[in-house]
Amino acid sequence: MPHLSSMINWVREITPIYGNGWVDAEGATRDVPEPFRLGCDTPNATEGIVLGEHEFSGATAYLSPRHATLDGVFNVEIRSGEVQLSYGYAEA
């Protein structure tokens, strides 16, 4: 298995937004997370590792376009292995 740093060729800035709210691992509404950096393989990657000092540091973030027209707003799912830590919306 390749070392994590060998897979990080790009860093995306992710800014969580309220949208319809954020949800925690138990399904309860939670505050919008702080912005974070996503280490990924390409500038437009939709999957990567949350970097730096952050509550989700080391977890995997998955982005999927929120709208049919690509506008930089994404659905975001944060996972640690098989465990979903949180989900909501963000600009990237």
Tell me if 51 sits within 8 A of 36, measured CB to CB: yes
Tell me the C-alpha distance between 84 and 54, whole Å. Answer: 16
Show me where the domains of the chain are located: 4-91
Per-residue pLDDT of the chain (92 residues; tens, 9 = 90+): 344 555 789 999 999 999 889 999 999 999 999 999 999 999 989 999 999 999 999 999 999 999 888 899 999 999 999 999 999 999 99
